[in-house]
Amino acid sequence: MGGPLGALLAAWLLLAAGSGGAKDNILLVLTDDQDREMGGMTPMKKTTSLIGQLGATFANAFAVTPLCCPSRSSILTGRYPHNHLVRNNSLEGNCSSPAWQKFQEPFTFPVYLQRQGYQTFYAGKYLNQYGDPKAGGIQYMPPGWSYWLGLVGNSKYYNYTLSANGHEEKHGEHYEEDYLTDIITNRSLQFLEKLSHPPFLMVLAPPAAHSPWTAAPHYKSAYSSIKAPRNGSFNVHGKDKHWLIRQAKTPMSNTSIEFLDNVYRERWQTLLSVDDMVEKIFEKLKTLHLLDSTYVFYTSDHGYHTGQFSLPIDKRQLYEFDIRVPLLVRGPGVKPNQTHLQPVLNIDLGPTFLDIAGERDAQEQVAVRFPGGIHW
C-alpha cells in the first residue's frame, strides 16, 4: 500500500487487529448512474446514517470513466480503461466479450478473495453485455463467484432475465415477485442466513438510478415537487468547452426541461428502495452478529447530469457531475463521522478489498498494473 490512502487503511486494520487473525467480511453496494454532485445522495437517509455517520465519507471520490461497462470493468480489475481495453458498452467494445473473459476476468478481485477462503456472492447488474449468446450466454458464470445472480443485459426493474448460477430465471412485472432491487435484497438476506462460515464477499448491484427509472409502487409519489438543480451551469451553453458540449441546443426547450425534471424525480424515487435494501442488510448483519466484522462500501459506477451545459440527461462527459461519485465506508477500525478529502478513484476498491483480506501475493501481482497505483 502506498500514499495517504494506504496509510489510512493500515491504521484501520491496526485498530481492528484484535480479531485473532480472522478475516473480515466485505460488502460492496454498487449503484448505477448515481451522482453525488447533483444531490444524488439526498434520498439515502438510512444509508448516510448507517454508513456515513458511523463511518467515513470520501468527499473526492471519482470514477475513472463516466460510462457503465468501462467503469465497472475498472472496479473489477483495478485497471484504467486503456489497460483493460473495455471501450464502451458494446460487445465489440470489449464489454463482457470473450476477450474480456479470457484476459481480464481471471484477475478480478473476487477470484483472489475466493482463493483466500471467502464465500462470494454477486447479485444484480454486472456488465452491460453479460449473457450475450456470443459470449457464453446465460450459462456463463464469471470466475470468482460462489453464488451468482447476474442480470442479463442492462438495468431493468421488471421484465428481465437473471442467470442464477448459470440457470435462466425470468421475471415479469409484479412488484412483490419481480422488482429487481427487492429481489437483490431478498436473495442477499437468504445468502447471509445460509452462510456456512465467514468470511464473505458480497456485491449488490441494483439498477437504480439508471433508466427506465421505475420506482416501487409505494414510492411513485415521492418528491413530487422536486426539480433538478438550477445551478451555475444549468441550461448554459458550454461555448468554451470541447466540441461535444458545444453541440448542445441552447437554451433547452420547456419540453426538455420538464422531461429532465421528471427524470430527476424518478431517479430519486428508485433510490429509496436501495436505501431500504441497505437498512435490511444492516439489520441482518446485526442479527447474525456479523456487523462488527464487516467492511461496508457504498458507491456508484459514475455520476450523471440533468441540464448542465444544456445537456438534458446522460453521463459520458469528463466533468465533475459525471465523474464524481458517492463513497461511504464503514467497518472495523473506521471511526464514525469522518470526512476524508484525499482524492480516490474507483480503481482503488479492488486493491482495498485485497488488503482487507490480507492477500499480499495477489496485491503485488495486481498492483503493478496500476499506473501510479494508490492503495488504501
The count of other CB atoms within 10 Å of the CB of residue 155 is: 25
69 labelled catalytic? no
Least Cα distance to 96 among 121, 116, 76 occurs for 76
What secondary structure, in 3-state letters, does 134-199 show? HHCCCCCCCCCCCEEEEECCCCCCCCCEEEECCEEEECCCCHHHHCHHHHHHHHHHHHHHHCCCCC
Longest Cα separation, the chain: 63
Task: Give the torsion sign (CA, 30, 350, 346, 18).
Answer: positive
Q: Which of 29, 54, 68, 313 is catalytic?
A: 68
Q: CA-CA distance, 170 to 176, in Å (whole number)?
A: 14
Return the DSSP state at 298.
E
Return the DSSP state at 375.
-
Question: Could you tell me the three cell numbers for 276?
Answer: 431500504
Question: Could you tell me the three cell numbers for 281?
Answer: 442488510
Least Cα distance to 230 among 39, 45, 59 occurs for 39
Contacting residues for 302 by C-beta, under 8 A, at least 6 apart: 33, 63, 65, 66, 67, 68, 71, 315, 322, 323, 325
Cis? peptide before 106, omega within 30° of 0: no
Name the β-bridge partners of 297: 28, 329
Question: Could you tell me the three cell numbers for 344?
Answer: 480516490
Least Cα distance to 164 among 201, 191, 196 occurs for 191
Tell me how far the alpha carbon of residue 297 is from its chain's centroid.
Answer: 9
Which residues carry out catalysis? 68
